[in-house]
Amino acid sequence: MLSETHDPGSPLLDIALDLAESLATEDRFRRLLAAVRRMVPCDAAALLALRDGVLVPVVVDGLQPEVVGRRFDPAEHPRLLRLLGAEGPVRFTGSPLPDPFDGLFLEPSDIAARAHACMGCPLRIEGRVLGVLTVDAVDPGAFDEVGDPTFAVVAALAGAAMRTAGLIEALERAAAHQGMVARQLLLDRRQGGAAEILGTSAAIARVREEVRLVATSDLPALITGETGVGKDVVAQAIHARSLRADAPMLHVNCAALPESIAESELFGHVKGSFTGATDHRAGKFEVANGGTLFLDEVGELPLSVQPKLLRAIQSGEVQRVGADRAIRVDVRILAATNRDLGEEVRAGRFRSDLYHRLAVFPIWVPPLRERVEDIALLAGFFLDRARARLGLGPVRLEPEAREALVAYDWPGNVRELDHVVLRAALRASAGRRHEGVRIAAAHLGLGAVSSVPSGKCAGCEVRPRGPLTAPPETMRDVVSSLQRRLILEALDRHHGNRAAAARELGMDRANLHRLALRLGLWAARS
């Protein structure tokens, strides 16, 4: 039954008018889906874009937030495959084909667990399929009075909105390549080329904005943050949105470069310049000429190599080991570290002039515990990747598992979340790989894993030395209590020496400082 409070033409008019409005992509699609729900009485709706053969959720309503992080391969979802090949609306009420959103509906009930109404339509513009629009309702007869022509018109307008958003994205990319500072759309879901910085929190929106600002310049950027926060993803996003996107980005792990070969790896060498130099060899700077060089863990770079790196950044010249002339290169430098380079400079372990050259545009990536609203979305993304990697059928998180993920402190950050979800999917799938897999809180293994400082193994068990005197009420309280105990005991053993305590705990001193501030320990001991 159509809504009694809205004229059926009103939502259609709203959608049509929005096509001419200057709206952010996310706002455009959310308003579109709201208009669809006013026209079609449904409990859940989803707008999915077809990108590189995979359906990517653009905006959903009535579904779990993790759905936005998933990717739907039509080959694995018969209903979606049928929609992509259809010429108009398709109804699936009573259909034996599995619902792609099985187990992903919001409370109060799992719609797909019983008979319900389901309807969808491909989004076609000039014969090209841009995506699909789907609606689901608990009442099996909910769509009986919704005619196919009406739904087809809604889908046509949705397709037009999607094409409008695509044209805006193309124009903004063109403006960026011409050196203009253009407004970046909030949601970038390109498959393959550009890295996705997933999340809807204010903290991660700030990172995306800083990436947008620095990407179209040629400035060096220093990406900092704890281990596992995704500094490499930020570097890839900067390169993919830069004027050098068509050129290579070379990744150099400075922590893995022994001092004896670091100079040769970065700048190259000539034949006979040292034992083992049997041929001329170009260094990473030469190979990356015209593109980007990503110096990961730059804080670990030997002091002996730092002056030559500084010269390369300042003058654009490198000199191979054993060579008598310099070579000019055009390379954009991105660097990342989990160390506090300011503290490293004060300690004499890092050159001040190099630090300031690298940190022209600093970007700090927040830890996962400071963006908890992104955990469900990231879990959905990693769960979908784990499902494909393990060759599983449908996989879903039970509500208590989702709550446990949100409550955990994530000392290993996004990388740890990825590993936890992969292990949980493997545990939950034992003996039922081709059936529906439900991940419970017990499969996550978070109860036995304490909050391990970022320098330690994120999967190792840490046993407290004695019982907790006052058991906290939540998992977050338990983790914070154990963190306080471990830090205080380490400080006591080292007579308050924070650097020594950090080394014992296997973490960077800067990370220890930030964690202790959050736990209120410095104020308590000062």
Domain end residue (candidates: 400, 430, 449): 449
Does 178 reside within a domain?
no
- Asked if 396 contacts 425 with a C-beta cutoff of 8 angstroms, the reply is no
Using DSSP's 3-state secondary structure scheme, residue 217 falls into: coil
The region of weakest confidence among 41-55, 390-404, 450-464 is: 450-464
Which residues form the domain of 148? 9-172
252 plus 321 within the same structural domain: yes
Does 372 reside within a domain?
yes
Q: For position 10, what pLDDT does the model report?
A: 60
CA distances from 112 to 43, 47, 59, 94, 96 (A): 11, 18, 20, 11, 12
114 plus 257 within the same structural domain: no
Confidence of residue 457 (pLDDT cuts 50, 70, 90): very low
Q: For position 458, what pLDDT does the model report?
A: 34
pLDDT, tens digit, for every residue of 97-144? 888 888 788 765 555 555 578 888 888 877 888 889 898 888 888 888
Confidence of residue 168 (pLDDT cuts 50, 70, 90): low
Q: For position 248, what pLDDT does the model report?
A: 82
Using DSSP's 3-state secondary structure scheme, residue 329 falls into: coil
Does 187 reside within a domain?
no
Confidence of residue 7 (pLDDT cuts 50, 70, 90): very low
Mean pLDDT of the chain: 79
Domain end residue (candidates: 420, 449, 478): 449
Give the per-residue SS3 of 191-216: CCCCCCCCCCCHHHHHHHHHHHHHHC
158 plus 214 within the same structural domain: no
Does 373 reside within a domain?
yes
User: Which CATH number belongs to the domain containing residue 269 in this structure?
Assistant: 3.40.50.300
Does 182 reside within a domain?
no
Q: For position 2, what pLDDT does the model report?
A: 38
Q: What is the DSSP string of 376-421?
A: HHHHHHHHHHHHHHHT-S-EEE-HHHHHHHHHS--TTHHHHHHHHH
Question: What's the total number of domains in the chain?
Answer: 4
CB neighbour burial string for 441-465, b if at least 16 within 10 angstroms, e if fewer: bbbbebeebbbbbbbbebeeeeeee
Rounded CA-CA distance 157/121 in Å is: 12
Q: Which pTM was predicted? A: 0.61
Task: Identify residue 193 by its one-letter amino acid code.
Answer: G
User: Which CATH number belongs to the domain containing residue 477 in this structure?
Assistant: 1.10.10
346 plus 486 within the same structural domain: no
273 plus 390 within the same structural domain: no
Calculate the CA 127 to chain-centre distance. 33
**Which residues make Cβ contacts (< 8 Å) with residue 356, sequence separation at least 6?**
none
220 plus 234 within the same structural domain: yes
Rounded CA-CA distance 444/429 in Å is: 12
Q: For position 153, what pLDDT does the model report?
A: 83
Does 179 reside within a domain?
no
Length of the chain: 526
Tokens for 20, please give them: 């001419």
355 plus 373 within the same structural domain: no
Confidence of residue 466 (pLDDT cuts 50, 70, 90): very low
pLDDT, tens digit, for every residue of 182-231? 232 223 333 334 467 899 999 999 999 999 999 999 999 999 999 999 99
User: Which CATH number belongs to the domain containing residue 127 in this structure?
Assistant: 3.30.450.40
Domain end residue (candidates: 391, 416, 449): 449
314 plus 377 within the same structural domain: no
Locus of tokens 């963190």: 483
166 plus 25 within the same structural domain: yes
- Asked if 423 contacts 238 with a C-beta cutoff of 8 angstroms, the reply is no
Tokens for 158, please give them: 């949705």
Q: Return the half-sphere exposure (C-beta side, CA atoms, 13 A cut-off) of residue 160.
A: 14
29 plus 167 within the same structural domain: yes
pLDDT, tens digit, for every residue of 422-445? 999 998 888 666 667 889 999 998
Tokens for 166, please give them: 């695509």
Does 184 reside within a domain?
no
Calculate the CA 170 to chain-centre distance. 22
Locus of tokens 């729900």: 37
The answer, yes or no, to whether residue 467 has pLDDT greater than 70, is no
149 plus 239 within the same structural domain: no
Does 3 reside within a domain?
no
pLDDT, tens digit, for every residue of 349-384? 999 999 999 999 999 999 999 999 999 999 999 999
360 plus 381 within the same structural domain: no
